[in-house]
Structure 1
Amino acid sequence: MNSAPLTRQTIHDELERVRSDFHTLVTAASPADLRRPSSGTRWTNGQLLFHMFFGYLVVRRLLPLVRLMGRLPEPVSRIFARVLEAGTRPFHIINYQSDRGAARVIHGPQLLRWFDRTLDTLQAQLAAEPAAALARGMHMPVSWDPYFRDWMSLAEIYHYGTQHYDHHRQQLTIGQAS
C-alpha cells in the first residue's frame, strides 16, 4: 500500500494513522454495524475489528521469535517455517474461531484501550531496536497470511500489522445499509 522506504519513522507514522482510523471506526460503529457481515470474510464487522487488532498482537508475539531466529544460522528459521507450514489448517481454524469468540467479550472502549496499549508497546519497542536488529529476520510460513513472505526482516514484521490492518479495513461494511 505504501511505497515509502520502511524506516522507523514510516512505521511509527503508519501506526499513528491506524490508531486514529481504528478509533474512528470503533466509536462510529452502531450495534447494527457491528452485527452486519463484512465483505469477503465470514466475520461480522465487530469480529473483523477484533481481528484487525489481533494482527498487532501477532506482531508482538513474532518480534521475540524474529529477534532470536535472526541471530541463528539461516537454515534454522527455514526449518522452523516449514514446521509451521505443516500446521496451516489448524492455524486458520483457530484464527477464525478465536476472533469470533473474543469479539463477543472485547469490544467498544475496552477494545480501544487494548489497541492503544498494544500500539504504544510496539512503538516503544521499535524506538529501542538497534538498527542492526531491524535488518535481521527469519523465514515465515507463507501460507498463513498473504503478507508473509518467505523471509522477512524485523522491520517488515513491525510493518506487517499495518498491511494486515489495511487489507481488512477494505472489507468492513460499517456505515453501509443492510
Structure 2
Amino acid sequence: MAIQRTQKKAGKSESLTIRLDPKMRFALEFVARLNGQTITKVIERAVTEAADRTKVDDGGNGYDAANWRNYWDVSEGVRAIKLAKDENTHPSFEEEEMLDFVRQHWKIFSVDQKLSYLRRENIEIIWPLMPTLLDTWRETKASPDRSKAASMMQAALLKAGMTPKAWAVPHIPDPGLDNEIPF
C-alpha cells in the first residue's frame, strides 16, 4: 500500500493517498453509502476506533494502559516530546537525540527535570527552530561555545515577548512535606 501525505493547510487537515483493490474500494463506498457518510469519515472513524483499542504496554505497573489519546496534543512539539519519552512507542534515533536535547535544556521545555509538566508556550515558540537548534547543539556541545543553542532559544523567547521567568524553575512544594513552620 503506497501512502502519500501532503499538507493542505497548516494545522487543519492532510491529504492521504492509498491504493485499494476494487473489492476494498467497493466495501468502503458501501459502508459510506449505508451510513450516509463520506469515505473520509468512514476511514476516520475506523482508524479512531482501532487506535482507541490499541494500548501501550504499561509495564505491569498496575496503571491503565495508555492509548493514542494520552500522547495527542494540538502542539506538535508537545506530542513529539511525549512520544519520545516513552520507550514503548519505539522512538527513532532522531527522536531520542531530540529528547536528549530537551532533557539537557529542561528548564526551557519543562517545569521539572522529569519533563512531567511541559511549558507549552515555550515549546510552541521554539519548536519551529528545532532543526537549527539541534544542528547548532551537535556542532557546539563539545566546544567552549556549548551554550549557543540555549542562547538561541532564550533569544527566540525574548523576541516573542517572553520574560526570563519563562525558563526559571518555579518552586513546587513537596506534597509529602508539611510546609508550615512548626511553632
- Same topology, TM > 0.5: no
TM-score (norm. length: structure 1): 0.22
- Bigger Rg over Cα: 2
Q: Which has the higher contact order (CA 8 A, sep 6+)?
A: 1
Higher helix share: 1
